[in-house]
Amino acid sequence: MIGNDIVCLAKAATESNWRRKGYLERIFTPSEQQLILQHEDPSLMLWLIWTMKESAYKIINRETGIRSFAPMCLVCSIQEVNTCNASGLINYQGKDIISRSTISSCYVHSIAARTELHLNAIKLNYAESHAGYQNQFNNSQFSYHLTKNLVGVPQLQHQLTGNFHPVSISHHGTLLAIAYSDSPL
pLDDT tens, residue by residue, 24-50: 999 999 999 999 999 999 999 999 999
Give the per-residue pLDDT at 185.
Answer: 62
CATH of 2-181 given 1.10.3720.10, 3.90.470.20, 3.30.465.10, 1.10.150.120: 3.90.470.20
- CA 46, CA 7: separation in Å to the nearest integer? 11
Phi, psi angle pair for 13, to nearest 5°: -65, -30
Give the per-residue pLDDT at 132.
Answer: 93
Please write down the long-range contacts of 80-89, taking CB distance under 8 Å and 24 or more positions apart. Answer: 81/45, 81/48, 86/48, 86/110, 88/52
pLDDT tens, residue by residue, 43-83: 999 999 999 999 999 999 999 888 888 999 999 999 999 99
Within its chain, how far is the Cα of 36 from the centroid? 18
- 151 pLDDT above the threshold of 90: no
Nearest by Cα to 36 from 78, 97, 96, 84: 78
- CA 120, CA 113: separation in Å to the nearest integer? 9
- CA 124, CA 41: separation in Å to the nearest integer? 26
Region 106-122 average pLDDT: 96
Tell me 60's DSSP state.
H
Angle between helices 30-38 and 42-64 (to 10 degrees): 150
pTM of the model: 0.95
